[in-house]
Structure formats: C-alpha cells, structure tokens
Structure 1
C-alpha cells in the first residue's frame, strides 16, 4: 500500500524488452536507499516489484496489462518518474490509500498557474466519473491530489507549488497522459451498490 506522497523523481536510464509483453525498466535514484529484491515501489503510481538493484538504481519488469493501461509503456530513456516505496506499518499516513493499481491513462486538459497555485485538469472516462467527487481524493501518476471541481468529464485539482516542483508535474503539459487510480473506498461502495442493485 502507498500514500500518494512522492519521495523522489527517478529517471529511466535503460529499457529492455525481455519477453513478449514485458519491458524491463532500469531507474536511477539518488535518495532512496538500496532497495531489496522483491520490494514494492510505485513508479508513476503503479506498483512494481524490484527484480535487481544497485547503489543508485533499481530495475522492474512491467508486464503487458500494466503496459497497456498505464504510461509505463510510453516511457523512454531520460524520462522522469515519480517514486514511492510501500508504506511501512509504523509510518504516518499523510496522503490517502493508494494501492498502486493503475486503472487507465487520462489526458491532461488544463495545466496553468493562477496566483500561487496551479490547476490541473484531466479528462476522466465516463465509467470512472461516478467515483470522483468534489473534495475527494484522486491519484494521478502516483500523486495524492484533492479534487476541487468537476466540469462535465473534466476533473480539476488544485496543486500547490511544492507538489509541482517535487514531482513530474514540473515536466507535464496539456495533452500528456497520466495514470489514474480512483479512491478505493469509492470503488468498494460502487461495487456493493452494483451487486445489491442499489444501496437502500
């Protein structure tokens, strides 16, 4: 489990096709400690397993499902990625519950500054819109954000300068694709309502 608080921006330094439907990403890290084999780390919000590591790098194998649903399949050498290690049991819980299960890619529709804050808009697929609520949580590229407004199929989040400067949002532009994970609590409630034919 993760919290959506990014620890570091890593950088892709090598991409290999190891098997059909599998890409091995080697990611450079400057602040994360030596990651143990088998450790879980969220890369742009997608939970990955460390399969090799060194003093300043680690490698993960990204499989076909994640390649098709997330932007990990679009990464190239030199690209920055958001990194977060799995939450420890005795850690403070400062973000929201993030599983690291990228549901789909969403497109940035707006990304601009107004005063000291930035506003990020993404277009949400119709089948995911009911899982988004104003003042609710949303995870984009592994970043825990709060929804400020919903306008049609566009979800808008207010982003403080610190978050922009310390995540890959500093490099994002309108038209870029980000990984979406909706709030797990909302997904459970929606599933319960579906199974029971509506909440009473």
Structure 2
C-alpha cells in the first residue's frame, strides 16, 4: 500500500530486456536504504527490488505491467516518481493507493494560474474508471484531488511544491501518465453495476 506522496525522483540509468520483461536500473538517493524484495511505487506502479547497488537498484516489470502502464516507454535518463510502501501506523497524508495502475491516460492541457497550474487529463472510461469532483485520483503515483470531472476527462490543480518535486514539470500536452482510480470508487462501481438498467 502507498499514500501517493512522492518521496523523491529516481533516474533511469539502464534498461535491459529479458524475454518479455524489462529489468530497470535506477539511481536514487534512497538506494542505500533499500533491500531486495522491498516494494516501491515507480510512477505509481508497485515493483519489487531485485538487486541493490551502492547508489542504484533494479526492479523488473513484466509484460502485464508494461501493457497497463507507461513504464515500457522509459528511456535511460528519464526520471520517475518514487515512493516507498507506507508504514503501518503512520499518517495517511494522501489517500489509499495500491500501486496497481488501471490504465494510461494523456495530458490534454496545462493552464498556468497565479501561483499554481491546472492540468487536464483524458482517459478511456469504463467500469470503475470514474472520477468525481473533490474525489481522489492518482497520476503517475501522485495523490491528487479532482477539480473538474467529466466522463473520460478530469483536471487537477498543482501547487508549486508538487510541480517542482515530481514529474509534473516535465508534462506536455500528449504526455502519457499512469492512472489509478480511487479504490473505494471501484468497489462501489462493481457493487452497483448489476443493478444498473440495461441500455
């Protein structure tokens, strides 16, 4: 489990293809604190540490993960949002995030406001893929509050700290992002689906 509060940015230093998998090595100030079998969220995707070096570590992404996320498009030198698993008993500063990406969405627009930014995103609607105004959404692992919501589209407001300390400052219209919809909303959608009138 994660909270969607990004700890730091890691930099991809090496990518190796192993059959249908990708072994991704990243440089991070957290590397010395990691251990093999530990779970970390990379752009919101929960991956297991398989090797640790002095200033880097390696994780493996399987084909299912690559199909559902933007990790398959990573290149050496790219930066990723990084969060270690939450500690039981710690404050939940974001919201409950599983690290299981639902789909890849795309940035549609970026509006600079007076001291903040409004980012718009589009996605493919479907069962459990919903947003509500003032509800929670995870974008590349960042826990955010939805500002505007419509089927297949939502926007979020970004404060300067988040803009400077996550991948948000690198986004452009068209940028692919990993989306994890609110877990409680997904369960509610599943429960009410059998009782919805047929079209």
**Do the aligned partners of residues 129 and 185 (structure 1) sit closer, same or farther apart at CA in structure 2, a change above 3 Å counting?**
closer
- Residue 59 of structure 1 corresponds to 58
Write the deviation string for residues 97-151 of structure 1: whole angstroms up to 9, x where unpaired: 0000011100100122111110111002121686210000000000001000124
**Do the aligned partners of residues 101 and 130 (structure 1) sit closer, same or farther apart at CA in structure 2, a change above 3 Å counting?**
closer
Q: Partners of 2:86 and 2:184 in 1: how far apart?
A: 18
**Do the aligned partners of residues 155 and 51 (structure 1) sit closer, same or farther apart at CA in structure 2, a change above 3 Å counting?**
same
Aligned residues, how many?
196
Structure 1 position 9 matched with structure 2 position 9: yes
The 3-state SS of whatever aligns with 2:61 is strand
- Residue 149 of structure 1 corresponds to 148
Whether the aligned pair in 2 keeps the contact of 1:17 and 1:23 (CA below 8 Å) is yes
The TM-score with structure 2 as length reference comes to: 0.94
The 3-state SS of whatever aligns with 2:33 is coil
Comparing 92-101 and 142-151, the one that deviates more: 142-151
Comparing 76-85 and 106-115, the one that deviates more: 106-115
The TM-score with structure 1 as length reference comes to: 0.94
Structure 1 position 166 matched with structure 2 position 165: yes
Unaligned runs of 5+ in 1: none
Unaligned runs of 5+ in 2: none
The 3-state SS of whatever aligns with 2:110 is strand
- Residue 75 of structure 2 corresponds to 76
Structure 1 position 132 matched with structure 2 position 110: no
**Do the aligned partners of residues 53 and 32 (structure 1) sit closer, same or farther apart at CA in structure 2, a change above 3 Å counting?**
closer
Whether the aligned pair in 2 keeps the contact of 1:129 and 1:153 (CA below 8 Å) is no
Whether the aligned pair in 1 keeps the contact of 2:31 and 2:53 (CA below 8 Å) is no
Q: Deviation at 1:46? A: 0.2
Q: Partners of 2:112 and 2:150 in 1: how far apart?
A: 18
Q: Partners of 2:100 and 2:153 in 1: how far apart?
A: 21
**Do the aligned partners of residues 128 and 161 (structure 1) sit closer, same or farther apart at CA in structure 2, a change above 3 Å counting?**
farther
Q: CA RMSD in A?
A: 1.4
Aligned ranges 1:69-108 → 2 under 5 Å:
69-108=68-107
Whether the aligned pair in 1 keeps the contact of 2:14 and 2:26 (CA below 8 Å) is yes
The 3-state SS of whatever aligns with 1:127 is coil
- Residue 182 of structure 2 corresponds to 183
Moved over 3 A (4+): none
